[in-house]
Amino acid sequence: MHTKLYTIILAAGEGKRMKSDIPKVFHPVGGLPMIEYVLRRAIELPSDRIIVVVGTGKEIIMDYVSKRYEDAFFVHQNRQIGTADAVKTATHELTDLEDDVLILNGDVPLLSNALLKDFYEQYKKSKSSLGFVSARLDNPAGYGRVIKKGTRFTILEERDADEKVRKIQEINAGIYLVSYKALVKAIERVEPSPVTGEYYLTDIVRIIQSMKKKIMNYHTDKPEQVIGINDRKSLAFSEKVLNQKKLTRLMANGVTIYDPDNTYIEHDVAIGKDSIVYPNCFIMNGTKIGSRCIIWNGTIIKNARINDGVEVKPYSIIEQSTVGRDAVIGPYARIRPESVIEDNVHIGNFVEIKKSSLGRGTKANHLSYIGDATVGSRVNIGAGTITCNYDGFKKNLTVIEDEAFIGSDTALVAPVHVGRGAIIGAASAITKDVPTGALGIERSEQRNIEGYAMKRKSKLGGR
């Protein structure tokens, strides 16, 4: 008979040690809330049902999870009085005595699918009533310690342990598989810790053994996968581990990472082969970079689509935008959200683009602001061109058609339309539409006064 697998994710804790207003499992690692990784593992296994125990900051967690995992079910733990109490709340949602229950802490994001799958298989094979994962840590501080006497196991929380037990390096990972039948019985029998008054889930190990049921211990030699995040220090450490894993995967897929110690790429970023990423770049989730791209140092890219062959020169920022093939961006360029930069466009230094589209082969190479504009193909935007898109009340649109030539230091006072192939004289303030092929020029005529400089010198005393 097929037994179902229910997964309970514990996510109600305050996370006191984080000293934060945000619930702990919602803190990001690799650009995703840590609970996201745990949910992914539960889905992959696969779980027949996922139950998330929420409490502290439950609105923000439920909002996030329900948008992405429609089938996830929430139970509310009213008071955060321990992991056993959290599980007890969740067991009220389970019914079938033949089922298995996987319990995961919401603060263990580095766990791999391979480890969980193997644990599940070994647990099934062993026909145990409970299995728990342990690992040996060089620094076991903060974790529950696993005490083994013959075939009997006890898990003791650090806060309840004496010096001798604290020296034990085998730790409880907080990952359990347990038969529903044994779980419901055992969970009722957990007593509060005499030291902290909390109900420890770890007690079920002792209780289920005392019920003469079989226990299995799954020791993993991948301790980095079971790191629990309790404070900012372990958060930073996990970030590092996750980032290195990401970079290793990218390198294995043909991406050159010039200096992996100083490159930061979030978990869900994709980069095509023969692309190069130079140091001190932050490439954030939602970003997809094609092949043969060069991402120079100091660049920040967030939620953007960068097509093949693009070069992003140093210290540029690209956010929530699309960049076409073989375009060149930067140095020091800023592409703000909702921009579409088509193939072969050149955006140069100190150019800001906001909510605008630039057609193929268009160039804006120096010191410009292009906002709320639709710019055609092969347009030349001279140095210092500004779209004056804001009149103090609302944003107005600028349209520049194909092959127009915008002279340097032009102010395009929107709403305004520049026709195909039109030319704008340098330093013009353009407030009226310019027809196709016309010259638009707005500037007073130049006067030259002969000999002025000499006259001024003698008047002011020849200095």
Q: How far is CA 234 from CA 142, 160, 239, in A?
A: 11, 22, 8
Closest residue to ligand UD1 using C-beta atoms:
144
Is 201 in contact with 81 (CB distance < 8 Å)?
no
Nearer CB in complex with ligand UD1: 52/269: 52
Judged by CB under 6 A, the residue of 36, 157, 266, 372 near ligand UD1 is 157
Q: Please report whether residue 170 would count as binding ligand UD1 according to CB under 6 A.
A: no
23 binds Ca ion (CB under 5 A): no
What totals of helices (H) and strands (E) does the chain contain, helices first? 9, 39
Cβ(293)–Cβ(310) under 8 Å?
yes
Told to check if 356 binds ligand UD1 by CB under 6 A, we report no
Q: Are 436 and 421 in contact (CB under 8 A)?
A: yes
Q: What is the pattern of x (binds ligand UD1, CB under 6 A) and - over residues 218-247?
A: ----------x-x-----------------
Of 33, 109, 174, 376, the residue at the interface with ligand UD1 (CB under 6 A) is 174
Q: Which residue, 92 or 166, has its beta carbon nearer to Ca ion?
A: 166
SS3 424: strand
Between 82 and 371, name the residue whose CB sits nearer to ligand UD1.
82
Give least dist CB 410 to ligand UD1, A: 57
Q: Which is nearer to ligand UD1, 83 or 410 (CB)?
A: 83
Name the segment binding Ca ion (CB under 5 A); options: 157-165, 222-230, 244-252, 268-276: 222-230
Q: Which residue has the tokens 């005595």?
A: 97
Structure tokens at 387: 């779209």
Question: Counting contacts by CB under 6 A, is residue 182 touching ligand UD1?
Answer: no
Beta carbons within 8 Å of 206's beta carbon, 6+ residues apart: 153, 154, 155
User: Under the criterion CB under 6 A, does residue 18 sit at the interface with ligand UD1?
Assistant: no
What sign results for the dihedral spanned by CA atoms 139, 141, 142, 144? Answer: positive
Would you call 236 exposed, middle or buried from its count of C-beta atoms within 10 A (0-12, 13-18, 19+)? exposed
Return all residues near 163 (Cβ < 8 A) that are at least 6 apart: none
* Interaction of residue 205 with ligand UD1, rule CB under 6 A: no
82 is an interface residue for ligand UD1 by CB under 6 A: yes
Q: Are 279 and 297 in contact (CB under 8 A)?
A: yes
Out of 5, 6, 7, 13, point to the residue binding ligand UD1 (CB under 6 A).
Answer: 13
Smallest distance from ligand UD1 to CB 239, Å = 17
Question: Is residue 53 involved in binding ligand UD1 (CB under 6 A)?
Answer: yes
Please tell me the distance from the alpha carbon of residue 437 to that of residue 404, in angstroms, as a whole number. 8
Q: Give the 3-state secondary structure of residue 57.
A: strand
Hey, is 195 helix, strand or coil?
coil
Indicate whether 200 belongs to the interface with ligand UD1 (CB under 6 A).
Answer: yes
Distance CA 432, CA 424 (A): 12
- Does residue 366 have an active-site annotation? yes
For residue 272, give the amino acid letter: G
Q: CA–CA distance from 85 to each of 16, 76, 143 (Å)?
A: 18, 11, 19
In angstroms, how far is CA 355 from the centroid of its own chain? 23
Q: Select 174 or 361, whichever has its Cβ closest to Ca ion.
A: 174
Q: Which of these ranges, 77-85, 121-129, 271-279, 385-393, lies near ligand UD1 under the rule CB under 6 A?
A: 77-85
228 is an interface residue for Ca ion by CB under 5 A: yes
- Asked if 176 touches ligand UD1 (CB under 6 A), the answer is no
Nearest to 110 by CA among 12, 245, 202: 245
Q: Of 156 and 283, which CB lies nearer to ligand UD1 in the complex structure?
A: 156
**Site string (83-122) toward Ca ion, x via CB under 5 A:** ------------------------x---------------
Greatest Cα pair distance in the chain: 112
404 binds ligand UD1 per the rule CB under 6 A: no
- What mask of x and - would describe binding to ligand UD1 in positions 97 to 126, judged by CB under 6 A? --------xxxx------------------
Least distance between Ca ion and beta carbon 16 (Å): 11
Find the radius of gyration of the CA atoms of the chain: 31
Q: How many residues bind Ca ion (CB under 5 A)?
A: 3
Q: How far is the CB of 66 from Ca ion (least distance, A)?
A: 24
**Alpha carbon distances (Å) from 52 to 81, 448, 450:** 16, 79, 84
Examine residue 289 and tell whether it contacts ligand UD1 (CB under 6 A).
no
Q: Are 402 and 417 in contact (CB under 8 A)?
A: no
Question: Residue 13 carries which DSSP code?
Answer: -
Nearer to ligand UD1, 227 or 328 (CB): 227
The binding site for Ca ion (CB under 5 A) comprises 107, 228, 230
Positions annotated as catalytic residues are: 366
The binding site for ligand UD1 (CB under 6 A) comprises 10-13, 24-25, 53, 55, 77, 80-83, 85-86, 105-108, 143-144, 155, 157, 171-174, 200-202, 228, 230
